[in-house]
Structure 1
Amino acid sequence: MNKKEVIFVLLDKFADWEGAYISTCLNIGVKPGSPIKYTVKTMSVTKDPILSIGGFKVLPDYDINDLPTDYAGLILIGGMRWFSPEAAQIVPLVEKAVKENKLVAGICNASVFLGANGILNNVKHTSNGLDYLKQYAGEKYTGEANYVNKQAVRDGNIVTANGTAPLDFCREILYALDADTPEIIEESYQYYTNGLSPK
């Protein structure tokens, strides 16, 4: 089976932990032994190495000029650079993905970036609190009525989450991508949430 690529969009000082669960579930299967439908690739503005907040160095597979067109979705990982001029270069790729009804997911400050570029105005969404979103997203964000105060929200192919919700973010993306059965997705979520020794 030809596996579709899911592209993780990373900027310098990205939050390593925010994409760890979803990248693992996509790359090796939602549950060990499950079918693997997707493969994980990384993208940044250039192909220069980028450094995570935790000190991991990543060499992106793609830059903004050579992203393939047949990928399954974009996952924007939060961090410290989503309000910078370099982030603005990502906007056309995100708008194109939304038009093509591909998955577009943003966590933490990447969800604010989606709000700041008008992507969230007509879909249910969340972020790092409504006041934070309004403060940093600016005037292009008019979607306050669609804000949901939850860890993660999925509306069609748009998934958003706050920065404390990597597991919920993972679960909603798995549903959006139909990565496995609902039962397996929930089992995976419970396993990572409660661990081997539940309290």
Structure 2
Amino acid sequence: MARHQIAVLALDHVVALDLGTPAQVFGAARDASGAPRYKIRTCTPTGGPVRSVAGFQVLPDHGLEIIEEAQTVVVPGIHGGPPMTDGTIDPAVSRALRAAHARSARIVSICTGAFALAAAGLLDDRPATTHWYHAERFRDLYPNVKLDPDVLFVDDGEVLTSAGVAAGLDLCLHIIRADHGAEIANRAARRCVVPPWRDGGQAQYIERPVPVAGAAGTAPTRAWALDRLGDPLTLAAMAGHARMSVRTFTRRFREETGVSPARWLLGHRTERARTLLETTDLPVDQVARRAGFGTPAALRAQFQASLGVSPAAYRRTFRAPTP
């Protein structure tokens, strides 16, 4: 099978971590024989060096010409430059990105790379995201973009955008999963030592006001719930433990964690099920009960929705070998 061609476009003021993410994650995507599924190359607008915000220069092997043959183009984050200061971009870069989009190449941004895509006009009237910290500036410069700064990534078909830092990893794994399935994506995640899946709709870890000193928080109730994941926990029961009304508890819980109680509970139950599948020989029905899903059918539905595999397939992939 021919390898999928990826061009990573480094602009001036590039974020070093974002620049390394595509090569690291897509480079870890290999089939069962170990054959790589992607060919990743890096370019700059002139083929010459650009400066990273980490205090060193990036010297690529290519210029914009490789975008002409790329099936996916990735623009890492930037911390400065015209796309972030005045809403413009080098015309040559704009032409290259727009030409790639016109021939149906997949266009991807990591973090503030979305500013470059927006400056090229590729995000007009589209849903997109970027790092929450720069959301206000983004809206001011690009009011025609349907910005959602509360999610990890947005997949709008041929144009995909991610939030900051680690969300770029999530988006790359999402793309691998879409291209080659959960097995290869999960294998890549293991090679990179990162979680194999986080839902794109999960909230970014946004800086939130610290709860008023002395006010009752939800942390004790969260600890209490983690000890009872196998029990039929309800929102009313959690609110009762916290000695709050359901409405107040839900509001405080979201303020402190960034997600709803139901989503938080589902995430921890899924993690508990993953741990049991990886570390025990318990039958799937017992895993389902101990993790709080009740039935194997409910556990299978959650695994298919969140990880793209069945519990049995997950265990085959990630079960640690017996010493």
Distance 1:15 1:33 in 2: 33
Distance 1:46 1:102 in 2: 21
Q: Runs of 5+ in structure 1 lacking a partner?
A: none
Aligned residues: 189
**Larger helix proportion, structure 1 or 2?**
2
> Which residue in 2 is equivalent to 1:67?
66
Are 1:117 and 2:120 counterparts?
yes
CA pair 2-55 structure 1, distance change in 2 beyond 3 A: farther
Q: Is the 8 A contact 1:19 1:166 kept in 2?
A: no
> Which residue in 2 is equivalent to 1:155?
156
The structure with higher relative contact order (CA 8 Å, sep 6+) is 1
- % of aligned pairs identical? 20
Q: Which of residues 131, 136, 139 in structure 2 aligns to 1:128?
A: 131
Give, in angstroms, the shift of residue 101 of structure 1.
1.4
Larger CA Rg, structure 1 vs 2? 2
Query: Secondary structure of the residue that 1:22 maps to in structure 2?
Result: helix
CA deviations over 1:140-170 (Å, ceiling 9, x no partner):
x4133x6362011111121101223222232
Q: Is the 8 A contact 2:129 2:153 kept in 1?
A: yes
When the two chains are superposed, the root-mean-square deviation of aligned CA atoms in Å is 2.9
Q: Which of residues 108, 111, 120 in structure 1 aligns to 2:111?
A: 108
Distance 1:182 1:87 in 2: 38
Give, in angstroms, the shift of residue 119 of structure 1.
1.4
Query: Secondary structure of the residue that 1:24 maps to in structure 2?
Result: helix
Q: Runs of 5+ in structure 2 lacking a partner?
A: 197-274, 276-323
Are 1:9 and 2:9 counterparts?
yes
**Larger strand proportion, structure 1 or 2?**
1
Structure-to-structure mapping, 1:1-199, within 5 angstroms: 1-29=1-29, 34-64=34-64, 66-67=65-66, 69-83=68-82, 87-129=90-132, 130-137=135-142, 141-144=143-146, 147=148, 149-164=150-165, 165-175=167-177, 178=179, 180-186=180-186, 188-189=188-189, 192-193=193-194
CA deviations over 1:55-98 (Å, ceiling 9, x no partner):
4443222223x336322111001113452566443111111111
Give, in angstroms, the shift of residue 47 of structure 1.
1.9
CA deviations over 1:27-57 (Å, ceiling 9, x no partner):
3435895431221111111122223222444
Q: Is the 8 A contact 1:108 1:163 kept in 2?
A: yes
- TM-score, reference length from structure 2: 0.51
